[in-house]
Structure 1
Amino acid sequence: MREKLDNIKNIAQRCLKCKKPLCKEYCPLHNNIPVILNYINNDQIVEAKKELLKTTNMSFICSKLCDHEKSCYGHCALRNTSDGSIAFYEVENYLSTLISESDYEKISNNKIKSKIAVIGAGVSGMNVAIELAKLGLGVTLFDKNNQIGGVITDSLPNFRFNDNVVNVLVAILKKLNVEMVFNKEFGNNLNFNDLNDFDYIVFATGTMLSKKIFEDNASVYDGIKLLEDGKNNIQKINNANSLVIGAGNVAMDVSRLLVRSDNKVNIVYRRNIANSPASKKEIEMAINDGVNFIELRSPKQLVFDKANKLIGLEVEITELIKDDNSTRLSFKSTGECETVPCDIVVEALGTNANYDYLKSFIPDLLDEKGWPNSKIYKYKNQKVLLTGDYLTGSSSFAGAVATSNKTIELIKEDIWK
């Protein structure tokens, strides 16, 4: 532990104390990085931890799983020096190991009796529950699974993240008297009628509706479902020639999972990997695990033999073009096609939120573009809010928490108006 603390101090000593710290600006949670590092420089570790807790309850997760290249690390003023950017995520992770339920207190509140139901116990739902419970409000956290954590405990591979950290979050929630109710899924065995006692209902159910190209087929798999199976030690694919479509972090995760079951794995992507949404770190780990990348190939159709067995994927060859509306290069078709041999295809194309059931109760849930708004909706006598990725679409872990912070402010303003 002493060696790790010395390393953290060495990292902190490099901070330039910029007048306009871009690390803080580009952190979705705006963690006060220079102040935290200054506390560490002065051997004020407890103060550094307290400063971190002012802006985030999810350091356990964000320090390991955020794409730091796109946030603090990638915008450090030292990024172009020989020693490179300051690795604040290492500092944050160290401080997260010092956080426990003893750092949290519930304010005694005899005046406000509002009760809040939070549906979904991923990072945004947990954050809403923690922050509102700290204010002395009655909070019940529901989840369709048998534990908190969302994708962390549901589908994120153990080789990527040790989900034991949720034990600390469980202890924090219990300390704040948050009631946790499991195996309850809204629209299945949980409905508005079951929530009549609550004044506010916050939906934080994320985006778990997989995007698809192809119709259901015995040789076409859903990447999210494979990750969920893997989390439960279920291996459906072994010794296969596998093609994974997509190049986000889910594609990297499922590819690395397949490699561990002795599958040959190729990722097919319509851009090149340098212009993929996956983090550099995830790409590097996939390459190190033996995943191969077939770039500039856009999926077109499945190819079957006479016995209706999948033998390949027909792809269209693409080339990169500039996109003025994006930091990534886009692509266009060259009109040429080829077939990539494979036994199975895995779709890892991202996810959407499913609003169908909720919309049947709240007709004005979505705007003309098909998106919900960051506002308080009404259903009978209850106030309904959406938060996290369920509100914005898929984002980073820190991004989901940042969105939930705005939801918390909406509720606070409404209660104490």
Structure 2
Amino acid sequence: MAKQPMLKFVTTAREMPEKREATVRNKDFDEIYAEYAEAKAHEQASRCSQCGVPYCQSHCPLHNNIPDWLNLTATGRLQEAYEVSQATNTFPEICGRICPQDRLCEGNCVIEQSGHGTVTIGSVEKYITDTAWEKGWVKPASPSHERSESVGIIGAGPGGLAAADMLRRAGVQVTVYDRYDRAGGLLTYGIPGFKLEKEVVMRRVEQLEQGGVRFVQNCNVGDTMSFDEIRAQHDAVIIATGVYKSRDLGGPGAGAKGIVKALDYLTASNKSANFGDTVADFEDGTLNAKGKNVVVIGGGDTAMDCVRTAIRQGASSVKCLYRRDRTNMPGSQREVQNAEEEGVVFEWLTAPAGFKGGDVVSAVTVQKMRLGAPDATGRQRPELIEGSDYDEPADLVVKALGFEPEELPTLWGVDGLDVTRWGTVKAEFTTGRTALDGVYAIGDIVRGASLVVWAIRDGRDCVEAILEDFNAKASVAAE
């Protein structure tokens, strides 16, 4: 009787890939986890219980067929594992690195609920696809026939790139317009290299170009080109701009120099550290934490990226202010642990009341908070503790309070592009269809600030709708 290759979670313990020592990794921007060795990847994949109702799959926004590719990995059929993984996920090696698995697939693993420790799904997913790249199994789009229809995609982030890939595989002509000098959006400039090395993103962009996707960089819609110009050149347009407008802070001294936006700070760091670009605001110290007391305000994943970046830039001290406690923070607990290991200090239940220093910030006036009654979402509401203020020294303050949508109808001068009261584009659920004929919207510009994996899901779903619409129009024209 053949030996059972799976269900080894009872005899085999959960084991993550080796993590570099904090005192070493906090000095560079390389990824912090090593790659699994082949035998270790097989071993960890074999811990999957192959349960009848795979909660890992149902809690994945892409509904990846996780049990099947774990089984294929455990039995050494890696190329098939990659093909199953790629069938539902355009960028599995990226999701394997940056998805908050502790809140999605791994957090809902059945054996985790039974106390045996979750299967290391994200690390195996990364291993499968990195191996596929090394073996040459990852191929650019090569459609069996070319279609005459053309689609313009505004935004080269994960949603736009996922849509571009799916459209080209269907033979559609694709042009991607993006405001930055490199494609990838937040994957390129918003996420630090220690979580996602930039070569991983750039090779996907190159693959898309090899498959026939055309990129127009440094294109700021409403300035470089009008929305109407883009729309006139294509049979359909996908708006995939993401949300880039930073939420702001008020209070005395909020306009002082040294108080910066998270995205500006991360973009400057990524350009300098990962691409070797010369960035004036980094070189003159405006967006450089070296030798400074740094305070980051916020508790999400962007705040975690900022504090860990500041450590690597050589900050004298790095503190993170968050108005709720550790349990209630929105960021990944795994990221908090990594940050603490690297030297970040978290000040829970604190919020800024203002800033000292006049023209140049020298301190944050901090208010202590406590958790009161639940709000409408069920989370306990932070309440101010009167008389608890203190000053926290700060030479650089990074605002990581989340992002809001830009006012696209106004910026682009577009009539009929409906938006919600939050400023997000109104689009049909799953299809991305908007009130404008032939115009679709996906990702954060529809959802609000969300996860990369949801943007990929939206891009793939939207392409299915576009192809349906193209086929319906072709059928009517043929009658």
Q: Normalization by structure 2: what TM-score?
A: 0.80
Report the equivalent of 2:322.
269
SS at match of 1:301: strand
Tell me, in whole angstroms, the C-alpha distance in 1 between the residues paired with 2:389 and 2:77. 61
Deviation of 1:135 after TM superposition, in Å, equals 0.5
Supply the distance in 1 between the matched residues of 2:233 and 2:35 (Cα, whole angstroms): 50
Deviation, 1:104, is: 4.5
Cα deviations across residues 85-117 of structure 1 (Å, max 9, x unaligned)? 00111111011111457545433335x421001
- 1:47 paired with 2:104, answer no
Match of 2:386 among 331, 335, 345: 335
| Structure 2 unmatched ranges of 5 or more | 1-33, 273-281, 473-479
The one of 117, 129, 147 equivalent to 2:152 is 117
1:38 corresponding residue in structure 2: 71
One-letter code aligned to 2:242: G
Aligned length: 412
Match of 2:17 in 1: none
1:178 is displaced (CA, Å) by: 1.0
Which residue of the partner structure matches residue 4 of structure 1? 37
Letter in 2 for 1:200: A
Q: Which amino acid aligns with 1:410?
A: A
Kept after mapping to 2: 8 A contact 1:101/1:172: no
**Following TM superposition, by how much is the alpha carbon of 1:188 offset from its aligned partner in structure 2, in angstroms?**
2.1
Report the Cα distance in structure 1 between the residues aligned to 2:237 and 2:45, rounded to whole angstroms. Answer: 41
CA distance in 1, matches of 2:234, 2:137: 26
Q: How far apart, in 1, do the equivalents of 2:138 and 2:294 lie?
A: 48
Q: 447, 453, 457: which one pairs with 1:392? A: 447
Q: What are the within-5 Å matches in structure 2 for residues 267-416 of structure 1?
A: 267-304=320-357, 310-321=361-372, 323=374, 326=377, 328-344=379-395, 345-356=397-408, 357=410, 360-368=413-421, 370-375=423-428, 376-377=433-434, 383-416=438-471
Change (3 A) 1:413 1:227: same
Fraction of identical pairs, as percent: 26
1:216-267 Cα shifts (integer Å, max 9, x gaps): 3213111211111112322434322222110111111111222232331111
Deviation per CA, 1:39-85: give whole Å up to 9, x if none.
Answer: 22333222111111110011121100010001111110111455400
2:292 aligns to what?
240
Counterpart of 1:155 in structure 2 is: 190
How much has 1:152 moved relative to structure 2? 2.0
State the secondary structure of the residue aligned to 1:252. helix
Root-mean-square deviation (Å): 2.4
Residue 172 of structure 1, aligned match among 181, 202, 207: 207
CA contact (8 A) 1:119 1:143 kept: yes
Q: Is the 8 A contact 1:155 1:230 kept in 2?
A: no
Distance in 2 of aligned mates of 1:3 and 1:193: 49
**What do residues 340-392 of structure 1 show as CA deviations (whole Å, max 9, x unaligned)?**
2223322111111213435631344213554322233365xx62111111211
Q: 1:106 to 1:125 in 2, by over 3 A?
A: same
> Displacement of 1:33 after TM fit?
0.7
Look up the SS of the partner of 2:304 in the other structure.
helix
State whether residues 101 and 168 of structure 1, in contact with CA within 8 Å, keep that contact through their aligned partners in structure 2: no
Partner of 2:21: none
> Which amino acid in the other structure matches residue 352 of structure 2?
P
User: More deviation in 359-368 or 204-213?
Assistant: 359-368
Q: Which runs of 5+ in 1 are unaligned?
A: none
Which amino acid is 1:229 matched to? A
Cα displacement (A) at 1:308: 5.4
Q: Corresponding residue for 1:139?
A: 174
Q: Check conservation: 2:154, 2:160, Cα contact below 8 A.
A: yes
Residue from 101, 104, 119 that aligns with 1:86: 119
Amino acid at match of 2:105: C
* Aligned 8 A contact 2:404 2:449 in 1: yes
The answer to whether the Cα contact below 8 Å between 2:351 and 2:368 also exists between their aligned partners in 1 is yes
